A and B are shown apart, each in its own frame.
Chain A
Amino acid sequence: MFKYIKWELKDELKRKSVLGIVVIILYLLIYILPSESETVGLLAIPYIIVLLGSILMAYLYGAYRTMKSYQRDTFLLESMIPFNPGTLLLAKYILAIIFNIIFSLVYVLGVAVVLFKEANFDVVKGMFDFFFQMDFDGMQALLRMLLVLFTTTVAFTSFATLLFLAIKSFFPNLNGATLISITLGLFFFSKIIISYIKNIASNMDSFGEGDILYCIFFLAITAICYFISVIFIRDKLEVYN
Chain B
Amino acid sequence: MSQNYLEISNVSKSYGNTLALKDVNLALEPGKIVGILGPNGSGKTTLFKTIMHIIRQQQGTVKICGEEVSYETRKYISFMPDKEFLYKSMKVMDATKYYQEMFNDFDISRFNELAKKLQLDTLADVDKLSKGNKEKLVLALTLSRNVPIYLLDEPLGNLDPVIKHEMLTVIKQSVTDKNLIIISTHLIKDIQEILERIIFLKNGHIEVDCLSSDVTNKSIEDYYLEVFTNV
Contact = CB atoms under 8 A, between A and B. Distances in A.
Contacts of A79: 52-54, 74, 79
Contacts of B90: 11
Contacts of B101: 3, 7
A45 interface: no
A76 B153 CA distance: 12
A76 B53 CA distance: 11
Contact of A76 (B75, B81, B89, B102): B81
B228 interface: no
Interface in A227-241: 234-236, 238-240
B78 to A, nearest CB: 8
B75 A82 contact: yes
Contacts of B73: 82
A15 interface: yes
B55 A81 contact: no
Contacts of A14: 89
B71 A76 contact: no
A75 B55 CA distance: 13
Interface in A63-111: 73-77, 79-85
Highest count of chain B CB atoms <10 Å: which of A73, A77, A236? A77
A238 B71 contact: no
A76 B83 contact: yes
Interface string A199-238: 0000000000000000000000000000000000011101
B86 interface: yes
B62 to A, nearest CB: 14
Interface in A134-184: 172-173
Contacts of A80: 52, 74, 77-79, 103
Contacts of A81: 74, 102-103
Contacts of A238: 54-56
Interface in B58-72: 71-72
A73 B83 contact: yes
B87 A74 contact: yes
Nearest to B153: A76
A239 B49 CA distance: 10
Contacts of B86: 74, 77
A11 B126 CA distance: 12
A77 B55 contact: no
B157 to A, nearest CB: 16
Contacts of A74: 85-87
6 closest cross-chain pairs (CB), A and B? A76-B85, A14-B89, A82-B75, A82-B74, A11-B87, A238-B55
Interface of B: 15-16, 52-56, 71-75, 77-79, 81, 83-90, 98, 101-103
Interface of A: 3-4, 7, 10-11, 14-15, 73-77, 79-85, 172-173, 234-236, 238-240
Given A15-B89, A82-B71, 20 more contacts: A7-B87, A11-B87, A11-B90, A15-B88, A73-B85, A74-B87, A75-B85, A77-B98, A79-B54, A80-B77, A80-B78, A81-B74, A82-B72, A83-B71, A84-B71, A235-B56, A236-B56, A238-B54, A238-B55, A238-B56
22 contacts: A4-B102, A11-B87, A73-B85, A74-B85, A76-B54, A76-B83, A76-B85, A77-B85, A77-B98, A79-B53, A79-B54, A79-B74, A80-B52, A80-B78, A80-B103, A82-B73, A173-B16, A235-B56, A236-B56, A238-B55, A239-B55, A240-B15
